[in-house]
Amino acid sequence: MAPSRLPSPLYVPSASGGLALLRKYAGPVPRYTSYPTADHFIDNLAALRPASLVTQDNRPGAGPLSLYVHLPFCRSYCWFCDCAHIITTDQGAAEGYLDDLAREIALTGRLMDAARTVTQLHLGGALPTFLSAAQLRRLGRILHAAFKFDADAEIAVEIDPRYLEVGQVDALCEIGARRASIGIQDTDPAVQMAIQRVQPPAMNERAVTLLRNAGFTSINIDLVHGLPKQTVSTFARTLDDVLGLGPDRLSVFGHTPVSESESPGRVSDEQGLLPGLDERMRMQVLARERLLAAGYVNLGMDHYARPRDELAIAARSGGLQRNFQGYGTRAGASVYGFGISAISSSPDGYRQNHTSLSAYRDALARGELPVARGWRLTEEDRRRRTLIMKLMCEHRLDFEALSRELGVDVKGTYAKELDSLTEFEADDILHRTDRGIEITDTGLPFLRVVAARFDAYLK
Ligand code: SF4
């Protein structure tokens, strides 16, 4: 499975179609992994009542559980990153953190209905493979002792090819992991130097081979456009390289530059190394054209999958769900996040843990859920969340079915929002009839722009 290292011809996407629409609809719009989005969460815990958000979730007929575990340790800092992370080379730090996770899981478990089955587990970070094989096995024991896993539970792990040993892959398999998401970002050496993350192609090939040989059935690759020193041509080579690895899914995220004062150390534009907005849009169009030409389907925005991948099948059958890890296939599950910064979601709202390890530990030492902020959904929030998630996951709104589900006349109640979609119709982003609206293939990259019209909090 050697990836192609042949240089791509200089690629110049057409200025029509996707590029023109990207230019027209450029601007900051949430990715809607929640509604309301996390920047609206409140830190008034007396109003939030985090423990009752858990107990209220034990309603009869409640759906299954989707677990997320945030493993925050990294050995070095990559300059594009905005994940909650702790830089250290002391592997012993993970032992204390596993104690914390066991405490948090036990505290939460006392409030939860233990009969609910886990259909999904995502080990994320930062860097899950900061943990040694023995530490990963201990994490698996903690989780499997606390929860009842479905035989078909989808267990996924984020992988950094720079830190992956055979023993760790074996331990992940023992936990039940069969899905991996590999962070590659860009394969160009100059770009890698600029983001302080040197990861030669041979490392990526080795990681994919190790995972495939161990029985991992689905491999996702994360790319990032908008990094320093990236050009359309270098990004074309990156796409060739990763397509050579044969991933089942790809995500092509955009880097959001920040100022040095906002986030010291993160990639900023102060050295003038970042590609301009137009160049970034060309990279987006290029990625879409290359991936569609290679046989992948667009699941929405910048997520792609092979047509026979579970995500693509779920997208066709209405089984896609959206949460803080992106798109998943287990619709209807409540998300329980553990570890610093982790976000949980249930039909009544969201709760996010402390991002600082000391505040997280202090709360656990007091015997409290380590929640720092969150949101309790109002009836109106719930309705708008449903509309937004239907657009993001099913790419359509069926007015009659939604009116029955939400208990309001959708066409009348949201007439202003629906009227505002006229320009999208004119741009072939969606089709509208008396019965509903449907996003077109052209409109898939613009899902969040359409969804934003139903966001009552967006200024
Ligand atoms: S990209 Fe991953 S490994 Fe790099 S700093 Fe961020 S979380 Fe750590």
Q: At what angle do helices 201-213 and 232-243 cross, to 10 degrees?
A: 30
Tell which of 343, 370, 399 closes a domain. Answer: 343
Residue 302, domain member (yes or no) = yes
Residues 268 and 324 in one domain: yes
Residues 257 and 175 in one domain: yes
Q: Report which protein residue has its CA nearest ligand 1's atom 4.
A: 78
pLDDT value of residue 145:
96
| Peptide bond connecting 7 to the previous residue in cis, omega within 30 degrees of 0 | no
CA distance 142 to 105: 8
Domain carrying residue 423:
378-459
Residue 20, domain member (yes or no) = no
Check pLDDT > 50 for residue 4: no
Residues 88 and 175 in one domain: yes
Mutate to test the pocket of ligand 1, among 83, 182, 186 (most ligand atoms within 8 A of CB): 83
Mutate to test the pocket of ligand 1, among 89, 131, 157, 160 (most ligand atoms within 8 A of CB): 160
Tell which of 317, 343, 369 closes a domain. Answer: 343
Mean pLDDT of 97-115: 95
Mean pLDDT of 2-26: 55
CA distance 38 to 350: 9
Q: In 3-state terms, what secondary structure has residue 4? A: coil
Percentage of the chain with pLDDT > 70? 93
Tell which of 295, 317, 343 closes a domain. Answer: 343
Which atom of ligand 1 is closest in space to residue 126's alpha carbon?
7
- Among candidate residues 406, 80, 440, the one with its CA nearest the CA of residue 273: 80
- The rounded Å distance from CA 74 to ligand 1 centre is 6
Mutate to test the pocket of ligand 1, among 77, 87, 340, 355 (most ligand atoms within 8 A of CB): 77
pLDDT-derived band at 263 (thresholds 50, 70, 90) equals low
pLDDT value of residue 61:
85
Residues in the chain: 459
Check pLDDT > 60 for residue 9: no
- The rounded Å distance from CA 91 to ligand 1 centre is 16
Residue 25, domain member (yes or no) = no
CA distance 337 to 332: 16
Residue 258, domain member (yes or no) = yes
- For 455, counting Cβ atoms within 10 Å of its Cβ (0-12 exposed, 13-18 middle, 19+ buried), the class is buried
Which atom of ligand 1 is closest in space to residue 158's alpha carbon?
2
Q: Is the model more confident about 267 or about 199?
A: 199
Ligand 1 contacts (CB < 6 A) are 74, 77-78, 81, 83, 85, 125-127, 160
Residues 327 and 386 in one domain: no
Residue 337, domain member (yes or no) = yes
List the alpha helices (DSSP H) in 221-276: 232-243
Check pLDDT > 70 for residue 13: no
Mean pLDDT of 78-94: 90
Residues 329 and 385 in one domain: no
pLDDT-derived band at 231 (thresholds 50, 70, 90) equals very high
pLDDT value of residue 84:
83
Q: What CATH number is given to the structural domain containing 383?
A: 1.10.10.920
Residues 408 and 324 in one domain: no
Residue 110, domain member (yes or no) = yes
Q: How many domains does the chain have?
A: 2
- Per residue in 316-349, pLDDT (tens digit) is 888 888 888 888 887 778 999 999 999 999 999 9
- The rounded Å distance from CA 382 to ligand 1 centre is 34
- Per residue in 114-163, pLDDT (tens digit) is 789 999 999 998 889 999 999 999 999 999 999 999 999 999 999 999 99
Q: What CATH number is given to the structural domain containing 50?
A: 3.80.30.20
Q: Which residues of 390-400 are buried (b: 16+ CB within 10 A; e: fewer)?
A: bbbbbbbbbbe
Residue 109, domain member (yes or no) = yes
- The rounded Å distance from CA 23 to ligand 1 centre is 30
Mutate to test the pocket of ligand 1, among 81, 182, 191, 222 (most ligand atoms within 8 A of CB): 81
CA distance 167 to 136: 10
pLDDT-derived band at 259 (thresholds 50, 70, 90) equals low
Residues 120 and 222 in one domain: yes
Mutate to test the pocket of ligand 1, among 70, 74, 129, 184 (most ligand atoms within 8 A of CB): 74
- The rounded Å distance from CA 181 to ligand 1 centre is 13
CA distance 441 to 303: 13
pLDDT value of residue 1:
33
Q: What is the distance, to the nearest Å, from the Cα of residue 223 to the centroid of all Cα atoms in its chain?
A: 13
- The first and second tokens of residue 344, run together, are 């949980």
Residues 404 and 308 in one domain: no
Residue 95, domain member (yes or no) = yes
- The rounded Å distance from CA 222 to ligand 1 centre is 12
Residues 406 and 326 in one domain: no
Q: Report which protein residue has its CA nearest ligand 1's atom 6.
A: 81
Residues 212 and 262 in one domain: yes
Residues 121 and 46 in one domain: yes
CB within 8 Å of 317: residues ≥ 6 apart: none
C-alpha distances in Å from residue 208, one per residue of 82, 191, 426: 25, 22, 43
CA distance 446 to 449: 5
| Mean pLDDT of all residues belonging to the chain | 91
pLDDT value of residue 312:
92
Of 24-38, 270-284, 287-301, the least confident? 270-284
Residues 386 and 330 in one domain: no
- The rounded Å distance from CA 81 to ligand 1 centre is 6
- The rounded Å distance from CA 423 to ligand 1 centre is 39
